Structure 1
Amino acid sequence: MDGHDRTLREWSALLAEDAEAAGVDLDAPADLYGDGVVAELETRVAALLGTGAAAFFPTGTMAQQVALRTWAGRTGNPTVALHPLAHPEMYERDALRTVTGLRTVHPTRAGRLPDAAEVADLDEPFGTLMLELPLREAGFVLPTWDELAATVAAARERDAVVHFDGARLWECTPHFGRDLPEIAGLADSVYVSFYKSLGGLSGAALAGPADFVAEAKAWRHRYGGQIAHQFPAALSALAALERVLPRLPRYVEHARTVARALREGLADAGVTLPLTHPAEPHTHQFQLWLPYPAAALDDAGLRMAEETGTSLFGLRRFTEPGPPGLSMTEVTVAEPALAWTESDVRAAAAEFAARLG
Structure 2
Amino acid sequence: MTNFASDNVTAMAPEILAAIADANEGPAMPYGEDPVTARVRARFNDLFETETLVFPVATGTAANVLGLSLLTPPYGAVYCHRDAHIVVDECGAPEFYTGGAKLVTLEGADGKLTAGVVSDAITGAGVVHHVQPAAISLTQATEVGTLYRPDDVAAIAKVARAHQIGLHMDGARFANAIAALGCSPAEMTWKAGVDVLAFGATKNGAMAAEAVVIFKPELAAEFGFRRKRGGHLFSKGRFLSAQLEGYLEDGLWLRHALHANSLATQLAQGLAGLPGVTLHHPVEANMLFLSLPESVIAGLKAGGFMFYDWTTPATAAGMREIRLVTAFNGTGEDVRAFVALAADLARKAAE
Q: Structure 1 pair 254/59, CA: closer, same or farther in 2 (3 Å)?
A: closer
Q: Which residue of 2 aligns with 1:87?
A: 85
Q: Structure 1 pair 13/154, CA: closer, same or farther in 2 (3 Å)?
A: closer
Q: Which residue of 2 aligns with 1:290?
A: 292
Q: Which residue of 2 aligns with 1:166?
A: 171
Q: Which residue of 2 aligns with 1:128?
A: 135
Tell whether the 8 Å contact from 2:260 to 2:327 is kept in structure 1 after alignment. yes
Q: Structure 1 pair 236/25, CA: closer, same or farther in 2 (3 Å)?
A: closer
What is the CA–CA distance in structure 2 between the aligned matches of 1:54 and 1:333, rounded to whole Å?
A: 28
Tell whether the 8 Å contact from 2:136 to 2:167 is kept in structure 1 after alignment. yes
- Give, in angstroms, the shift of residue 297 of structure 1: 5.1
What is the CA–CA distance in structure 1 between the aligned matches of 2:285 and 2:188, rounded to whole Å?
A: 15
Q: Does 1:17 align with 2:18?
A: yes
The one-letter amino acid paired with 1:277 is H
Deviations 1:203-248 (A, max 9, x none): 3111113442342121000101112224444333332333343342
Q: Structure 1 pair 79/204, CA: closer, same or farther in 2 (3 Å)?
A: same
Query: Superposed, which structure 2 residues align to 1:1-357 within 5 Å?
Result: 4-6=9-11, 17-19=18-20, 24=22, 26-30=24-28, 32-36=30-34, 37-50=36-49, 51-73=51-73, 78-99=76-97, 100-108=99-107, 110-124=109-123, 125=125, 126-136=133-143, 139-185=144-190, 186=192, 187-196=194-203, 198-208=204-214, 209-242=216-249, 243-264=252-273, 267=274, 271-272=275-276, 274-279=277-282, 281-292=283-294, 296=295, 299-305=298-304, 311=305, 315-320=306-311, 324=315, 325-340=318-333, 346-351=339-344, 353=346
- Give, in angstroms, the shift of residue 107 of structure 1: 3.8
The one-letter amino acid paired with 1:64 is N
Tell whether the 8 Å contact from 1:262 to 1:345 is kept in structure 2 after alignment. no
- Give, in angstroms, the shift of residue 175 of structure 1: 4.1
- Percent identity reads 20
Provide structure 2 residue ranges, at least 5 long, that are not aligned to the other structure: 126-132
The one-letter amino acid paired with 2:211 is A
Tell whether the 8 Å contact from 1:129 to 1:155 is kept in structure 2 after alignment. yes
Stretch of structure 1 that moved more, 93-102 or 214-223:
93-102
Tell whether the 8 Å contact from 2:207 to 2:243 is kept in structure 1 after alignment. yes
Instruction: Give me the CA root mean square deviation.
Output: 3.2
What is the CA–CA distance in structure 2 between the aligned matches of 1:257 and 1:13, rounded to whole Å?
A: 25
Q: Structure 1 pair 13/257, CA: closer, same or farther in 2 (3 Å)?
A: closer
Q: Secondary structure at the match of 2:141?
A: coil
Q: Secondary structure at the match of 2:83?
A: coil
TM-score of the pair, normalised by structure 2: 0.80
Tell whether the 8 Å contact from 1:276 to 1:286 is kept in structure 2 after alignment. yes
Q: Which residue of 2 aligns with 1:308?
A: none
Tell whether the 8 Å contact from 1:262 to 1:346 is kept in structure 2 after alignment. yes
Q: Secondary structure at the match of 1:82?
A: strand
The one-letter amino acid paired with 2:205 is G
Q: Alignment length, in residue pairs? A: 327
Q: Structure 1 pair 322/40, CA: closer, same or farther in 2 (3 Å)?
A: farther
Which has a greater percent of strand? 2
Deviations 1:290-330 (A, max 9, x none): 132xxx5554233213xxxxx4xxx4232315754432332
What is the CA–CA distance in structure 1 between the aligned matches of 2:78 and 2:100, rounded to whole Å?
A: 11
Q: Structure 1 pair 286/241, CA: closer, same or farther in 2 (3 Å)?
A: farther
What is the CA–CA distance in structure 2 between the aligned matches of 1:345 and 1:302, rounded to whole Å?
A: 10
Q: Secondary structure at the match of 2:111?
A: coil
Q: Which residue of 1 aligns with 2:129?
A: none
Tell whether the 8 Å contact from 1:257 to 1:342 is kept in structure 2 after alignment. yes
Provide structure 1 residue ranges, at least 5 long, that are not aligned to the other structure: 306-310
